[in-house]
Amino acid sequence: MYSLLWLFDTIITLYVWILIASAILSWLVAFNVVNPHNPFVRNVGEFLWRVTEPVLAPIRRILPNLGGIDISPVILIILLYFIRNLVFEVVAGA
């Protein structure tokens, strides 16, 4: 059972890092630090968008418009850590 918990924790941690990388890349593109027409940057950006957007889009629909500030990755990270801790508590209490 602990191996499954370790795998669950690792997947959540990896996804959080992917969310952080997606946010950082979007900032770098917005401030013209990296060229979005570069094939490598485009491929990385497309991969990050395809992995994160299906989960972030429903959160963005619920959140009010904050004038260009997107806090949906922060909300998702908090939810992921909440779910992770909840699963650990349920398994530890069982």
Q: Give the number of other Cβ atoms within 10 Å of residue 29's Cβ.
A: 15
Dihedral sign, Cα of residue 79, residue 56, residue 10, residue 13? negative
Whole-model pTM: value is 0.91
pLDDT tier at 62 (50, 70, 90 boundaries)? very high
User: What ranges make up the beta strands (E) of 1-94?
Assistant: none
Give residue-wise pLDDT tens across range 11-38: 999 999 999 999 999 999 999 999 999 9
